[in-house]
Structure 1
Amino acid sequence: MTAVLSIHRSGPLMSVQDDGRYGFRARGVSTSGAMDRDAHAIANALVGNDPGAAAIEFALMGGTFTTDRDVLVAVTGGRCAVDIAAKAVPTWESYLLKAGETLTIGPLRGAVWGYLAISGGITIPEVLGSRSTHLRTALGGLDGRVLSSGDILPLGETGELKPRMLGTPYLRGNAPIAVIPGPQDDYFEESAWKTFLRQPYRTTTSRDRMAMVLDGPALSAFKGHDIVSDATVVGSIQVPGSGKPIVLTADSQTTGGYPKIATVASFELARLAQLPAGRDFMFRKISADVAEELAIHAKDRLSAVIFGLTEK
């Protein structure tokens, strides 16, 4: 008989996400997957899953859960209150959740996206090779929608239940967010580039899994703010007529008709997505070659963190 996870209370934008749906952007299908792929991968590794296994992602607030068998659980993404059977436990570690015990996850502090991984992973059917939920097209996940109270999710088989913790610290800095110019960087004069790189921008509450709108000095495209729609990628920074940059995120559309001044480097996407609303930050320009080197370094760093997990 398949074990299940029961949701008794759900936070906003709670959904099933794995490491993403690849190979279909040319056909108009978004990548989806976890907004913070590092935190998602670490949560899975802490409970003994493959780093890309399906887990629960939530925005700002967790929820309340039970299972009908003993499992390991881990909560990552940021800091928050986590209770198992009314006993407080830390985030970024795994713990045994016994059958029938209640897991409660409170509001995140200093982050936007949180992750709950359960040993065995969530085993809803795959759609186009992924269990990730794309909310705007109702693709994947549980009926393509946000999770809510009363939902029940099937769990995979689990191995030996050995709680783990980080042996290598996982830290993120506060350096400016790295971007690669283009593909329409030539739509913006030098004065606009100086503004973009020398003035702070601020995260806003106008955000979801598709995009985040930034506040700050407006950017003017001297060639105009409308282009023939062309391909976008996760991290594209579009500049509409308002001049307010829009950063495309995991569930973003695959084409767009606004000029893109730059693209957020892949290894910086999670750090930007996790900045709470009202947080000021700066951009810095790097080349594609440097971005590739730094992406390899970031991947190696994540691998080292996962390899360095220790049993408690």
Structure 2
Amino acid sequence: MGMKIIGAGPLTTVQDRGRLGFMAMGFSPSGAMDDFSLSLANILAGNDEGEAVLEITMAGISAVFDGPAVIALTGADISPAIDGKPAAMNRALVVGEGSVFSSAFARGGCRSYLAVAGGLDLPLVLGSRSTNLKVGIGGLDGRKLQDGDYLPFRAPCSALPDMDRRVYEPPAAGPGPLVLHVVPGVQEDRFSPGGIRTFYTSVYTLSPDSDRMGIRFTGPPVESKRGTDIVSDGIAAGAVQIPNSGQPLVLMRDRQTIGGYAKIGTVAGADLAFLAQLFPGMPVRFKRISLRRAEGMYFRRLKELRGLKKKIGG
């Protein structure tokens, strides 16, 4: 039992929590760009939070189900419909045998996540089902989905307990540019006081030249003291590299494992999900915070997920 992809959209891949523990061997972790929405979709669908889902970028997909299933959609609103009837985001939905799921262009974000109760029956590669497009491993043959692909379900089910409680109410987005909280890094001393001030007081715009590897920004250049070339070292998720152009680059899930540009800091992990939902042209600001505050932000996000699990009896 599974679903056949009718329309795959411009970039739909299989992603889970990522391929962890292999960066020393040169493997990027991959995984969902918006890990909060990944966890949320899986909780609503009754799965483990790290189960593999479909990450749908910019535009929706369509698929036909050859058996009954329970699904959940989170992240950007892609106006889902089942057999032509509008369906809801952020809640568990029943799909019947022969039903057609369809969706449209993303609104209010860039990436959506579709979880199927019971998970996708795809092989683990180095402990993960995540697609790494650059290496060509994981997911379905290491590539983005195409029209006609078939995705089997591992343990499908036609209903879950407490379906009426499997609902999440997302908070309303605040006005103005997104604020990305940054923990200063050990290479901050590579930048002039004026450059650091520019970084934290300017508005930057997300560049179209962005992908799952890194999110690029354009705006006032960040001045360094003697250039930003360094001996290559390890790259953490959210690391903010400043190349010699002075334009910030935030490294994301498909990032390289080491890099040779100075890093002014690291975006707090709790903010990466928000960053993953930005369209090109959208503005951001960077705000300096302590490591302790970044940890507090992360634990508040975990508390929100735990609260949802408790609500639905998970």
Work out whether the TM-score is over 0.5: yes
Cα pair distance change 1:12/1:87, threshold 3 Å: same
- Check whether the contact 2:69–2:158 (CA below 8 A) recurs between aligned residues: no
Report Cα offsets for 1:246-265 as digits up to 9, x if no partner: 11111111100111111111
- Give the match for residue 267 of structure 1: 270
Contact 1:169 1:305 in 2 (8 A): no
Quick check: 1:140 aligned with 2:138? yes
1:9 matched residue in structure 2: 7
Give, in whole Å, the separation in 2 of the partners of 1:168 and 1:76.
9
CA-atom RMSD in angstroms:
1.7
Deviation at 1:167, TM superposition (A): 5.2
Aligned residues with identical type, % of pairs: 37
Q: Which amino acid aligns with 2:171?
A: L
TM-score (norm 1): 0.94
CA deviation string 1:3-46 (max 9, x = no partner):
12210101122100011111111221111111111111111111
**Is the 2:241–2:250 contact (alpha carbons within 8 Å) kept by the matching residues of 1?**
yes
Equivalent position amino acid for 1:117 in 2: A
Q: Which residue of 1 aligns with 2:71?
A: 73
How far is the alpha carbon of 1:144 from its aligned partner?
A: 0.7
Q: Is the Cα contact below 8 Å between 1:172 and 1:271 reproduced in 2?
A: no
Distance 1:164 1:184, change over 3 A: farther
Deviating more after overlay: 168-177 vs 8-17: 168-177
Secondary structure of 1:128's counterpart equals coil
Q: Structure 2 matches for 1:211-250, cutoff 5 A? A: 211-250=214-253
* 3-state secondary structure, aligned to 2:231: coil
Native 8 Å contact 2:17 2:51 kept in 1: yes
Alignment match, 1:90: 88
Where does 1:40-119 land on structure 2 (aligned, <5 Å)? 40-119=38-117
SS of equivalent residue, structure 1 residue 282: strand
SS at match of 1:193: helix
C-alpha distance in 2 between matches for 1:232 and 1:199: 24
Superimposed CA distance per residue, residues 274-294 of structure 1 (whole angstroms, 9 cap, x where no aligned partner): 122211121111111221222
The one-letter amino acid paired with 1:300 is: K
Counterpart residue number, 2:33:
35
In structure 2, the gaps of 5 or more residues are none
Gaps of 5+ in 1: none
Pairwise CA distance, 1:307: 2.8
1:194-252, Cα deviation, whole Å (9 max, x unpaired)? 11111111112111111111011111221312111111011011111111111111111
Is 1:287 paired with 2:285?
Answer: no
Secondary structure at the aligned position of 2:208 is classed as strand
1:115 alignment partner, SS class: strand
Q: Cα–Cα, structure 1 residues 219 and 164, in superposed 2: closer, same or farther, change >3 Å? A: farther
8 A contact 1:21–1:30 mirrored in 2? yes
Q: Which runs of 4+ in 1 moved over 4 A?
A: 164-168, 172-175
What amino acid does structure 2 have at the position aligned with 1:152? Y
Structure 1 residues 32 and 165, CA gap change in structure 2 (3 angstroms): farther
TM-score, length-scaled by structure 2:
0.94
Q: Residues of 2 paired with 1:220 and 1:104: CA distance? A: 48
Residue of structure 2 in register with 1:257 after alignment = 260
Specify the code of the residue in structure 2 equivalent to 1:201: Y
TM-superposed CA distance for 1:182, in Å, is: 1.2
Kindly state the Cα deviation for residue 143 of structure 1 after the two structures are TM-superposed.
Answer: 0.9
Mean alpha-carbon deviation: is it higher for 153-162 or for 35-44? 153-162
Looking at structure 2, the residues matched to 155 and 250 of structure 1 have their Cα atoms a distance apart, in angstroms, of: 25
Aligned length: 309
